[in-house]
Structures are given as structure tokens and as C-alpha cells.
Structure 1
Amino acid sequence: MVSKRSRQTGSVVVMMALSMAVLVAAVGLVVDTGVTYMVRDKLNAATDAASLAAARAVSQGKDEATQRANAQAAAIRFFNANYPTNYMGSTARLNAPSVVFNNGMVTVSVSASATLPISFLGLLGVSPLTPAVASQAVRKDLDMAVVLDTSGSLYYQGSNVIASAKTFLNQFNADQDRVGLIHFSYGAVVDDPIRPVARGFDRTSMIKHINDFDFSGSTASPEGMYWARQQLNSVPTSNNNRSNLRVIVFFSDGAPNSFASYLTWKTPSDCTKAGVITTDDDSSGTPGGLYRTDVQASVLTDQRCNPNYAYGYDRYGRYYYDIDDKASALPDWYNGHNPESKPNDPNLREFAVVTDSPRKVTNAVTFTNVNRAARNLVEAMAKKSQDEGIYVFTLGLGSALKSGTGVDGEKGEDTLKCMANSTDAPARCFNAAKPVGLYCYAATTSDLTPCFSKLASAIMRISR
């Protein structure tokens, strides 16, 4: 006869066994779910990196077969670099990357899965988990203007700027992407105009021009920005010729301090030409000029546009002319590229010089007005570009951008952020309803190439 106590003891043992089984299953579920999520996140990061790298690598090669092979090789290389062997004990499997060409658009698809080791649930007869993910990057045809600062403050960093700019260009497709190249200091030079109809760009010509860059002059940022927008808008809209993705990439190491203008002169016959009027960054002195608008650093040869005496050499070795003795007024509107016969044509007004926003500027030819107008103009040009659907990406080099300069002691990088409409831009200029670009800060020249690469990746992400 079995006693009541024995029967109770047996029931407790059964209940404990069942409870332990449930507990083991619960622990197994928690552990396995956590590991699965971690593996899936790592797979996502690896396939995302692989698809973006493949989209960039499509630029390499003269035909689709070579471009596809380069893209697939890049996808495999970046996936392996971003998914460590035996991560969390898993075994990853990358499927063959797909690269599809279709009317100027390339779609890269990357998928992968991972098999997890025998787990707690495996002990209960449940099959091992196999998380799987997929990423896709769509690389659209691109119209892009690249604007590079070649002012004198970059003299000792010039070789690094040149090397990084060439690396950046190599990430784009010379057969499909339209690219224009501009450099500026006092004036701005369109080294390689964007092709208005045919696709592609002459990489060899651009590399040669970049190699020949000389670093001297001031920072007439509005001149570089003016030509960047003009180049993109020179591509006609007829027959859907413009690319859906239009981008300006703007590099500088300082705050704007110069711009082109037809000035009003005390003696009207003194000067009838447009020239670049310039200030330094130390909030003192008088405006200098005038410099040619179409070359990097050269005074106007018409001596009526420059007084006969020199103000001297500034700290960058630039030969300054003191012009406030003869010039009586700045124009109401930016007119630096108007025809000489129509310097103040009311039909050619886009960007106000005399304004209360965001910095107050009057007509007087003073350091304050010229310095403020230079910053106002480049921001206004970038804003107008964004109104037209153009993305602006900016890259700043050096600690000077972190310091307040000019008459208002503003940081140069705040202007670059405003130009980009980046999410970290000052509240006065950020507009989430307009194309949001990116500002990348390179503290030293060793950060230049990574920054250019970050911008290239961001441009790819826009089209995803």
C-alpha cells in the first residue's frame, strides 16, 4: 500500500520536472532570441555596407560586365570586413550579390543568412535558428558640381587637398555621372564644365587640373557657389535630360570674406568692370580689391579699378588694394556676373547685398558690410539651390573653422552647416522641408579622405 505522503512526494517530483523543463525552455527562448537579434543586426550592418560599397564600385570599369564584377567583388569584401568570422558562434552565408542595370539606374541587392550553433532550444529538439537579411542600394545617374577652395591659407595643406579630391572623384562613374569642377579663391575658375547633354565626365582632365592647383588668395566662397549652381542649371530640363539627383559638394577651410561686384564709384568713369572686393578675417582694416572674377588670384588690369597705391601685404602674402577712397557704394543686389552693359539690371536680381537678414548690410563700402555680405550671399545661393531640389554637401578643414572670425565673430563651420542645411545647422537656417545635406569636419588633413568618402556614401544613400 502506497502512503499518502509517498503519493504527494511523487507529484512534487513530477511538477518540479515539468517546471524545470518550462524554465529551461524559457531561458533558451530568451538567450536564443537575444543572440538571434544580435546576429541579425550584425548581418544588417554588413549587408548595408556591402550594398553601398558595391554601388560606389560600379563607377569602376568601362562596360557593364566589368562594373558588375567590381561591384560584386566590393560587396563580398565589405561584407567579410563587417561580419567577423564565427561571430557569436554563427556561420554566415553571403548570397551572390545582384547588380542590375536599367536605363541609367543600377540596383544592387545583397542578402545573407547565418546559422546559429546548437542552443538551449536545440536540446529540446527545436531546429537551429537561421536569421536572414537583405539590403538594397539604388545608384541613380548623378549631376554634381565639385567646388574646391584654393585660398592661400591652404598653402601648406595643398598636397593633401589634391590627393583627397582625386580619391573622391574616383568614386564616381566617368561614363554615367555628370561632374563639373570649380576652384576659387579671389575669383572662381570652372576647370571642367559639366556636360549639358552627354553623360559622363573627363576624369583625366579633372585630375590634371587638380594636380595643377596653386593655393593663394582669399576666400570668395560666393564665387565658387555661384558657378556650382550655374553649372548644374546649365543642364537643360528638356527630354528629362537632368539627372534626378543633383548635388553640390563644397570644400573650404575658412569663412567667406570676399565677393564679386560692380561698385558705384565717386567718379563714374573710374571703373566700369566687375571685380572681387575682399576683407581679411580679423574684423579690422578696409576692403581691398578689385580682383578678376574669372581667375584665381589676379588684380584687374584696368588700373582705373584700383588706386595707384597699395595697402600692403596681408598675412597670407596677398597684395591688398585699399579701394574705399574711390568707391562710394556697394550694389543693392549681387551683380558680379551681370553683363557690363547691364550691371544693375532689375531683371537679373536674385541675391540681395543690402539686407537686414541674416546679417544687416548697407551700401557703405566698409569692412563690416563686405564681410557680412560675403557670408549672406553664399548662404542665400545654397538656399536657392535647395529650393531647386539640389543637395548641398560641405566639407570643412582645420581648427580655424571652430573659431569666431570676421566682424561678428561667427564660426566658419556654422556657415558651412547652413549651406548644407545639415541637421546640426544653426536653428536660423535649418529647414527640414528642403533637401537636407551633410557637413563633415576634417580636423586635420588626415581626416580629409575619410570625410570625402563619408560625403560619397551620403550621396549614394540619397538615391536608395
Structure 2
Amino acid sequence: MTKQRLQKLIRKTERGQAVILIAFAIIGLVAMVGLVTDTGILLIEYGKLKRGVDAAAVAAAQQYRLRGNVLDQAALENAAKNFLQLNQSTDIVDGSVIVHSCESPVADRPVLCNPDPLNHPNDNRKLVEVIATKNVYFGFLRVIGIESTTVTANAVGEAATIDLVLVIDTSASMAFETDTDPTKNDFASDSPLENPSVCNTSAANPCQPLRAVKNVALDFINTLYFPYDRVAIVTMTSQAPGGDRYPREILALTSDKADILSHINNINVFEPQDCNGSGTTEGSCLNYINGNFAGTICEIWEKHANEATADPSSCPSSNIGGALDLARVAFTKDPLHTRLDAFWVVVSLLGGPANATDILDPIDYPNGFCPQYTWTFMWDGRFCQDKYPSVRHADTDVAPYDNPVTPGVETDEISMYDPDDYARDRADDLAKSISGEGVTIFTIGLGKPIKSTALNDGTPISEDFYADGTTRIPPAEALLQYIAECAGDGIDVITYTTPTSYVCDPSNPPTINHGQYFYAPTSTALADIFDRIAKNIATKISQ
């Protein structure tokens, strides 16, 4: 009997052990399933968090700008947090979203800062790190007491560093607002107050609109972030009294804000030589009648206007193409400090059409390209410009010419290439000078001459329409629109052989990152335009 009870007890014990083993097996199975399933959940949630943090870093980088004189750290943090809240669940751990930049460095994130910004400015980068932690709740692993865990992700966003070239028109048109008398001609500076030798040095009556342009440019520079961003300055003409009409780079790319502001303040309106009455000195000159300033004239042409040899090609001073070419060179002339990953931008403020070029052929064209048919007093257009800005020529295009002053005596082939063609070619070179999206160009046309179709004497062109019935557009505005919105798209230089109102070639849609053209009838409109450009630039993200 005792033996039977013992055997029965053993059988019950074995059954109990089996139950225990089965229970442990079930727990183990659940743990294994949980390990697989909940690990998958963990990876999925981490992936979602990582994508959210990546996007939050980009959102924060978009706010990488100044508030006053310091980085707006609060804007970075708010952008990152708001983005995560909108795109993640409520499982983000309170207080876990951390935003770092070089302006708020921590010991374990030195990678955000350039250790030697002065000697190695190319290494300056606008980096923003975002770190966030999220709760992940398990399903199966709760059986073994593991309710949840946390995952942490980080990402670094980068706002584009900016290399910017500021191109400022310094021709005589930048003094035409100095005299506020509304009866004064907007196309010529002939008031004594508009004499550049006077207004360039006058504190009470500085050259206008140039002074207003400089004030707005100073405010614009204050929107950039130094030492990350760099600025170069190109003026349309020499800055020395009695200087020449050719563009100058007065400041190479630099992150020295004080130097930039100083150079802007010191920009002057072109001050050519005084007229001497000889009619033999090339270039424009300041004309005085009975000691009173009477405007800037082309004396060498006026003294010989009725002669076949009359040549005004040394006088016009709006070399837009040359200024754009200097802007192109400014980005790349120093290979050791060229920043290919920066956002390259040109802001050009111009007051009229192109009427001069660089000297590319000193033998045949010692004063640059200026079609000879525009030289005579019989020409009813402007010096060095054909009547149709969309008639595009190559620098090799020539045509027969019979000088109307001496018909049948002087016949020759002359170049049809004019300063407008040259400016468009240089704009193409500038816009496509780097791979990828290209150089972004903003153009601002200032003053009534931008909208004008008037001739040298102010008489409007009689034809209001082109041969195809489309409305004529002013040459200056057509050029500035082309530079900002069309240049660099591989347009054939002889796409247009007959007049048309098209600014861009409709068969060649844009392929690079273009800027925008703005028109400012007076200098009072400039502040809003520069503000819009600054906001456009600030939102450009390189990564």
C-alpha cells in the first residue's frame, strides 16, 4: 500500500513538473515572440523618430539667422520642437528635445564649431544638432516585466553658408535724385547738386539715390551671419576722381563685417575728368558752362558729331557685362578659399541699360564693343545699342556698313555685337559657373530709365510694337529680367534673329536655380526689395 501511494505521489509530482516546464516554455515562447515582435516595433519606432529628427534638424536650420546681433537660438528650438510635435506621437519624452549649435556649444559636441574660424574660414558651417528621446511601449515583452524602453536619435542639419557678391551701379544715374526738384530730367544729372565731384563729398546733400542704396545695402548686410557668410563688392566704375569707366572689385570675398560696411559707405558715383574743350580726350567728362555744372557729356563725340569719324565708344559707362564677369571671378579666383558647397548669390542694383563692354580686342575694338552704326548723329537710337534687346548676336557677327555721313566712301564690315549681347553672355557664364543649381542672381532696376524706351534726346521710340505684334519692352528691363530669370540655361546666342518681346526662350525652360528681377521706381522702394531678397536667401538649405 505504501508502495502504491509512493508511485501515485511520484506520478503527481511528474505531472506538476510538466506543468511547470510547459509554463516556462510558454513564457519562453512568448518572450521569443516578444523579442522578435517588440524588437521590430522598437526598430520601427526608432526609424520614425530618426526621420522626424532629421526633418526637425532641417526645420531648425531654416531658422539659422540673427536676432539683433546674436543667433536666434529660441527660433531654432521652437522650429525643431514644433515639427516633432506635429509629426510624432505624444510619446516624445518631456524635455528631451535638445537643440545645439556652435553658439550654444557643449563639451561633447565640438564638431559643430570651427576651431580656427579666422585662419580657416572655409570650415565655417551653420550646423544645428537636434536630439530627441521617445518612449516605446512593448506588447509581448510585458509578460516578462519589460513594459517599455526609450530610444534616442540625433541629426545635424545645415543651413547654407552664403558667398554673396554685391554689384552696385555707380554711373551718373546714381546722382539724378540729389536735386529733388521734380522738373529735373530723370535721364541726366545736370543740376549743380548732382555734380559727382560735389555730392560724393557732401554730408548735407550726398549723391542720391546712391546714398539711399548704400543705406539699404548696409541694412541688408546686417541680415547675413558672419563669420559664416562672405561678401564681395563690385562697382560699375572706378572710385577715384578722374578715374576710368571700367568695373572694379573694390572688396574681395571676406567675412569681416566691419570691412564690408566700411567699403559700402565709401562707394562713390563715377566722377570722370573735367572737359577741357579740346574734343580729343577720350571718355566722358564733367561739363561746365560759365563755371556752372551742366552735366556729364561725351565731348570727343560732340566736337565731331557731324563728321564721319565721330566716335562715342569711349564714353558710355554702364558695363553690366564686365561687372557680372568680375562677380563670377570673385567666387573662384582664390582656389584655396573657394567654397563649392556654399550658396552662391549675386545681388545687382542697376540704373539703366548696358552700353559698354570690357576691352577684349584692343586692336579692332580699343574701347570695347560698340556697333559703328550707332556712332553718327543720324542714328536715332542710343550709343552702342541696337533698338531691339532681344536681337542677340555673337561676338563674331559682322555686317556690311556704309557710313551715312559719307555714303559710298567708307564701306566696311562692322561688328553687330553690342553691350547688351555682351552682358547676356557674361550673365550666362556667371549663372552656370558652378555645377548643380548654379549661381542665383537677383537684379534690381532703379529709376525711370529702367522702364524707358527713350532715345538719347529723350524722344520715345515711335514703334510701340514689334513686327510680330508683341509689345516692345524697355531694353534695360529686358536685360535685367534675362539676367535674373533666364541666364545660364544653354540658350543659343543667335536664338533670336528678329525682334520679339520674349525675355526668355520659351523652348528652353529653366534648368538652374534662378533668382528674381525687381523694379524700384525710386529709392524708397528698395528697403522692401532687399528684405524680400534677404528672406529668400535665408531659407536656402544646402543639406
1:450 equivalent in structure 2: 528
1:354 equivalent in structure 2: 396
1:181 to 217, 233, 236: 233
- Per the TM alignment, residue 376 of structure 1 is displaced from its structure 2 partner at its CA by 1.2
Is 1:286 equivalent to 2:375 in the alignment?
Answer: yes
2:441 equivalent in structure 1: 393
Secondary structure in 1 matching 2:423: helix
Please tell me the residue identity of whatever aligns with 1:255. Answer: P
Please tell me the residue identity of whatever aligns with 2:161. Answer: D
Secondary structure in 1 matching 2:357: strand
Contact 1:162 1:211 in 2 (8 A): yes
- Aligned mates of 2:535, 2:157 — CA distance in 1: 11
Contact 2:430 2:439 in 1 (8 A): yes
2:221 to 148, 169, 173: 169
Per the normalisation by structure 1, the TM-score is 0.51
Bigger shift: 166-175 or 252-261? 166-175
Evaluate the alpha carbon distance shift between residue 175 and residue 395 of structure 1 in structure 2; reply closer, same or farther with a 3 A threshold.
Answer: same
- Aligned mates of 2:399, 2:78 — CA distance in 1: 58
Evaluate the alpha carbon distance shift between residue 263 and residue 167 of structure 1 in structure 2; reply closer, same or farther with a 3 A threshold.
Answer: same
Secondary structure in 2 matching 1:229: helix
1:212 to 247, 258, 266: 266
- Aligned mates of 1:404, 1:414 — CA distance in 2: 11
Please tell me the residue identity of whatever aligns with 1:392. Answer: T
Evaluate the alpha carbon distance shift between residue 162 and residue 264 of structure 1 in structure 2; reply closer, same or farther with a 3 A threshold.
Answer: closer
Evaluate the alpha carbon distance shift between residue 169 and residue 276 of structure 1 in structure 2; reply closer, same or farther with a 3 A threshold.
Answer: farther
Identity across matched positions, percent: 18
- Per the TM alignment, residue 257 of structure 1 is displaced from its structure 2 partner at its CA by 0.8
Structure 1 unaligned residues grouped into runs of 5+: 1-46, 62-66, 79-94, 111-135, 195-199, 288-310, 312-321, 324-350, 356-360
Is 1:203 equivalent to 2:257 in the alignment?
Answer: yes
1:230 to 326, 329, 344: 329
Per the normalisation by structure 2, the TM-score is 0.44
- Per the TM alignment, residue 443 of structure 1 is displaced from its structure 2 partner at its CA by 2.5
- Per the TM alignment, residue 184 of structure 1 is displaced from its structure 2 partner at its CA by 0.7
- Per the TM alignment, residue 75 of structure 1 is displaced from its structure 2 partner at its CA by 7.3
1:221 equivalent in structure 2: 320
Structure 2 unaligned residues grouped into runs of 5+: 1-55, 80-95, 103-111, 113-122, 131-155, 176-207, 238-244, 271-315, 378-382, 385-392, 405-413, 456-460, 462-471, 488-501
Larger gyration radius, structure 1 or structure 2: 2
- Aligned mates of 1:410, 1:393 — CA distance in 2: 20
Contact 1:54 1:75 in 2 (8 A): yes
2:427 to 361, 374, 382: 382
| 1:67-106 pair list within 5 angstroms | 67=70, 70-72=71-73, 98=99, 100-101=101-102, 102=112, 104-106=124-126
RMSD over aligned CA atoms reads 4.6
- Aligned mates of 1:209, 1:239 — CA distance in 2: 21
Contact 1:179 1:201 in 2 (8 A): yes
2:347 equivalent in structure 1: 249
Evaluate the alpha carbon distance shift between residue 76 and residue 178 of structure 1 in structure 2; reply closer, same or farther with a 3 A threshold.
Answer: same
1:402 to 436, 440, 451: 451
Contact 1:192 1:206 in 2 (8 A): yes
- Aligned mates of 1:363, 1:109 — CA distance in 2: 66
Contact 1:154 1:253 in 2 (8 A): yes
- Aligned mates of 1:145, 1:55 — CA distance in 2: 21
Contact 1:254 1:400 in 2 (8 A): yes
- Per the TM alignment, residue 234 of structure 1 is displaced from its structure 2 partner at its CA by 1.2
Is 1:463 equivalent to 2:511 in the alignment?
Answer: no
Evaluate the alpha carbon distance shift between residue 137 and residue 449 of structure 1 in structure 2; reply closer, same or farther with a 3 A threshold.
Answer: farther
Is 1:142 equivalent to 2:162 in the alignment?
Answer: yes
Contact 2:250 2:263 in 1 (8 A): yes
Contact 2:99 2:128 in 1 (8 A): yes
Deviations along 1:200-254, one digit per CA (max 9) or x if unpaired, are: 4222223222222222373111111111001112142x69843332222211011
- Aligned mates of 1:96, 1:418 — CA distance in 2: 46
| 1:49-128 pair list within 5 angstroms | 54-57=63-66, 61=69, 67=70, 70-72=71-73, 98=99, 100-101=101-102, 102=112, 104-106=124-126
- Aligned mates of 1:365, 1:72 — CA distance in 2: 69
Secondary structure in 1 matching 2:519: strand
1:411 to 475, 488, 492: 475
Contact 2:318 2:354 in 1 (8 A): yes
Secondary structure in 2 matching 1:181: strand
Contact 2:216 2:530 in 1 (8 A): yes
- Aligned mates of 1:219, 1:227 — CA distance in 2: 14
1:158 equivalent in structure 2: 210
